[in-house]
Amino acid sequence: MLINRRTFLVATGVLAVAPKVSVAQLNDTYYEVLLRHTRWAETQYDATAGRYRRTDFGFAVVLGNAVLLTRGSYDAAPAGVEKDVLREHTLATIKHFAASNVLAGGTEWGKTLFWDTTFQSYFVLAARLLWPDLDAATRANVEAIARGQADYTTSLGTGNDPRSGSWTPNGLTGGHRGDTKLEEMGVYAQALAPGLAWHGDGPGWREAFGRWSRNEAGLPAADLANPSTVDGVAISANTATNLHDTFVVENHGSFGPHYQEELWRTSGRNAVHFLLAGRPLPEVLTKQPNGELLWRTILATMSDAGEPLMPMVNDREHLYGRDVIPLAFRSTVLRDPMAARAEAALASRLLAYQAHPPVHRLAKFSGEAKYEPEARAELAISYLLHELRPAPEPVSEQEFFTRAAITIDHGADPGLLTHQSVAAWAGTVTKPGFTKLAWQPSHDDWLFKISGSTPMLLPSAAVTGRNVVAYQQVRDGFEATASLLRFADGFAGTATLPTGTIVCALPRPGRVDVHNLALAGILTGARTYTGSAGRVTVQAREGFRVDELTFPATSARHVRMVGITPHPTYGYSLFDFEVGPGVTTASSFDPGYEPAKATDGDPATRWAVARAERGRADSWIAVDLGTATTVQRARLRWETAAAGAYRVETSLDGATWTTVATYPRPDLSTPGWLDVDGKAGFVARSAEPITVQGDTITVPAGLVEGYVRADLRKIAAEPVPECPPGVRASTADGFLSLFNLSGADVTGTVRLRGTRLYRGTQVTTRDGTDYALTLPAATARVEAPWFTARGIPPGITAVVHNAQRVTFRGGPAMFVLVHRDGRSLPVVLGKAERTVSMPLATPFPIDDLALGRVTFPNSVLPAGMGDPAAAVDGRLHTAWKPGRDGRMVVDLGSVHDVQVALKWTAGAVPPHTVTYSVDGRTYGSATVARYVAVSTGWRPGQASLQSVVVQARST
């Protein structure tokens, strides 16, 4: 019987998780979170001024206040303020800032597109919720803000806002290399929405709103001929290039799903104005050009918390309060059950997240203060969206990750190769400054640290060469990725498997950092590590680091700490250096931070090295115990300026010193394998151990495998494939992962154990097979275990052509050929060669360049047209219905010299032509192409297109 993974983890005590929140409970949860967040919001109140502060737009808390004051059952206990007081604070703030806005004749704020208009949107919405309580002058000012901003934004045309400095959408061209303009175009649209929603259409408002909104998601070249219209304007009129051709956006030089979500974040801010005003939603909010392809990319990086991962962005991981609104918009306005599931998962964690210090905050893991009032406002908008537009029933977690499973190579420029599977997420990152093999077993975003510049497994050095393969189920019969990366001083390889397992061939030791917090309801405050050498539990570090060092008893009068690696900014500083009472000296000290303050017993005082000595590695602090004393421990409580490494030395005379302890020293050093908290683990095919030091795991150089909940002891005992020089191989989970870690082609034999048969040629041996290997320089690949041969004798040659057909020679022999899907076939082999085919098996890999590729039109289809993806999905019972004069394009991903075959369903085949393009813009008859277009004169009753088969011409 299958059991839900999370249920199993909770039942076994591995994970303490917050209660699940259903869609029906979302608004109750949001309301309670807003109530509790009010304690933080009230810290923004300036009693002297009689209003919330302007700093970092703190006054935007009025939107959350307005929801609490006009909805639900207000409770002053969690809010920390009586309702009438909150109302007084809120109304006074709205009155002041409505009058002080530039558009209403003030001088304090407003009109500037970046970022005043975001907070204007929140502000106008708050005022509208409390409209009956506002005086006439304040109402007039709020109306002037909405109208004036729409007029001002429209007056800019497609030009820059002179008030916004370098922030620009780059006209209607946008841009995707280094810095997407999706966010910026969204801000222009967002500046127009309150005017349109509350005051109808002013001169040019609706046209400008539609123009920025349609272009926000960008336009791939292949969609230029899309005849679909949105709000009466053809998609082909769009001009922006806000995305790479794999539908990934960049911001500040890296891939940031937080910014990709801006399409739905700004849409949520905009939609709530129309819905609350009782006006129809502009069509562009419900039919977003290419929005579904952007969403596919988000799903491909989603965690089980309903939050997109940030492998290349610092400061935005676990930004729970900001990640709600994009999901709420997709869930309620777009009626997306996948987004509904993600939103419910995120909401389930909000109260536990909010309770963690600093208590009450919603964006606590971000360094940007302005995110806090934004998070409050966006949670309030999410509440309103659910009130005004109820969400659909969400899919289950298992269905979510089954549907989200995909491999995508986003290309060398974005530097991201991702694999979302049912069991895990993994990504090989090669963008400069972010190199890593990021891995999230069980999609648990609180297990391993993978965000931003955090290193993981791979060397953090620049990648100088990149060879990758993304395997897809529809074409290859399984989903996996393989990469071979070149560095200035060597090579590294990665593979991700459909089971969630990862494999890496490392040129030097790799590092994995573990989240370890006391986060009630999410994390227990400790991590347990188990290996062949034993078990250790590492407690979460709360506050400043404390090192408890023990060593063999020794006689000493003098004990000192000698630094090896200082804090990179502040050097060394100790609150306590406990070895016994005595006179304390140091190599240097800062005035007010003398050495004796580390041994005075006062936990608030400390020693710190002199400012001029902060960069010195071997600074020291010493205690003269006065007489020879037996010592066997030292306790060091550090300030922020904690040593990365140091040693403790003893001496009888103060001249000759002996090292008795060093830091860091492993909490656990274990050969072969390491289990991490019962959730995941590593197997190292090396004589060197895996070590745990605090919250850092170090794996040795060589071949390392990462598993999701597996019997690691048993796996580590399995033999390692024997390979030619320069090659590493793994048979993790039965898949053969191969890496050529050299600059030369390799031909040779890989000696394997067991009776699995892989694509290619192998000869059976007494205990396995000799696999004939040909592997080009600096490449990697993954082979699926399509067959096993039960009872096969040594000396039989097996040539696996594909997942259906095998040729045997070297008989006589009798054995059973078993397919990966469980079907079996008895084989009687004589002296002659024999080829067998497994009945009903699909002959993967399939030689069809179109299978599983992106097709156009995509998110917005012309009336009467079916989804063109049905012609490249590999299924026999699906087909593309062209619609009247329909045209479809398939993007092959790269340029090939191709030949095309079309297969139609029963009925009259419509007149049609096939044309080809290199750039997606100009089509003709030349067959060297990346894009293949099928144009029809289809009429009702004619056949549909069952498949477009594209094959490379043989040379």
Q: What is the DSSP string of 471-525?
A: E-HHHHSS-EEEEEEEETTEEEEEEE-TTS-EEEEESS-EEEEB-----TTT--S
What pLDDT, on the 0 to 100 scale, is given for residue 217?
A: 85
Q: Express each pLDDT in 559-581 by its tens digit.
A: 999 999 898 889 999 999 999 99
d(Cα 929, Cα 611) in Å, to the nearest integer?
64
The set of residues, in sequence order, having a beta carbon less than 8 Å from that of 278 and lying 6+ positions away, is none
The set of residues, in sequence order, having a beta carbon less than 8 Å from that of 351 and lying 6+ positions away, is 18, 29, 32, 33, 36, 521
Query: What's CA 739's distance to the chain center, in Å?
Result: 26
Contact 423, 500 (CB under 8 A): yes
d(Cα 500, Cα 441) in Å, to the nearest integer?
7
d(Cα 666, Cα 846) in Å, to the nearest integer?
49
Tokens of 876: 């026999």
| pLDDT over 60 (residue 14) | no
- From 828, 777, 829, 833, select the one nearest 801 (Cα to Cα): 833
What pLDDT, on the 0 to 100 scale, is given for residue 644?
A: 85
Question: Can the peptide bond before residue 394 be classed as cis, meaning omega within 30 degrees of 0?
Answer: no
The two counts, helices (H) then strands (E), for the chain are: 19, 48
Q: Tell whether pTM > 0.95.
A: no
Q: Express each pLDDT in 739-794 by its tens digit.
A: 999 999 999 999 999 999 999 999 999 999 999 999 999 999 999 999 999 999 99
d(Cα 371, Cα 321) in Å, to the nearest integer?
8
Number of other residues whose CB lies within 10 A of the CB of residue 802: 18
Q: Give me the mean pLDDT over the 412-429 stretch.
A: 97
Q: Express each pLDDT in 452-473 by its tens digit.
A: 988 999 999 999 999 999 999 9
For the chain, the average pLDDT equals: 94
d(Cα 673, Cα 706) in Å, to the nearest integer?
10
Contact 282, 211 (CB under 8 A): no
The set of residues, in sequence order, having a beta carbon less than 8 Å from that of 585 and lying 6+ positions away, is 595, 621, 622, 624
| pLDDT over 80 (residue 899) | yes
Query: What's CA 692's distance to the chain center, in Å?
Result: 25
What pLDDT, on the 0 to 100 scale, is given for residue 2?
A: 29
d(Cα 383, Cα 67) in Å, to the nearest integer?
8
Q: Express each pLDDT in 682-693 by its tens digit.
A: 999 999 999 999
Count of CA atoms in the C-beta half-sphere (13 A) of 955: 3
- From 591, 581, 584, select the one nearest 560 (Cα to Cα): 584
Contact 189, 216 (CB under 8 A): yes
Can you give the three-state secondary structure of 459-479, one letter per residue? CCCCCCEEEEEEECHHHHCCC
| Partner residues linked to 528 by β-bridges | 537
| Partner residues linked to 469 by β-bridges | 482
Q: Express each pLDDT in 360-377 by its tens digit.
A: 999 988 877 789 999 999
What pLDDT, on the 0 to 100 scale, is given for residue 403?
A: 97
| pLDDT over 50 (residue 16) | no
| pLDDT over 60 (residue 544) | yes
Tokens of 57: 């737009």
Does 806 or 547 have the greater pLDDT score? 806
- From 888, 880, 900, 902, select the one nearest 856 (Cα to Cα): 888
- From 624, 620, 630, select the one nearest 584 (Cα to Cα): 624
Strands of 841-925, DSSP E:
855-856, 887-904, 912-917
276, 277, 283, 285: CA torsion to nearest 10: -40
pLDDT confidence band for 533 (50 / 70 / 90): very high
Contact 80, 124 (CB under 8 A): no
288-325: b or e for each residue (b if 16 or more CB lie within 10 Å)?
Answer: bbbbebbbbbbbbbbbbbbbbbbbbbbebbbbbbbbbb
Does 246 or 438 have the greater pLDDT score? 438
What pLDDT, on the 0 to 100 scale, is given for residue 303?
A: 95
d(Cα 763, Cα 756) in Å, to the nearest integer?
11
What pLDDT, on the 0 to 100 scale, is given for residue 955?
A: 57
Q: Express each pLDDT in 903-950 by its tens digit.
A: 999 999 999 999 999 999 899 999 999 999 999 999 999 999 999 999
- From 750, 747, 760, select the one nearest 787 (Cα to Cα): 760
Q: Give me the mean pLDDT over the 639-653 stretch.
A: 94
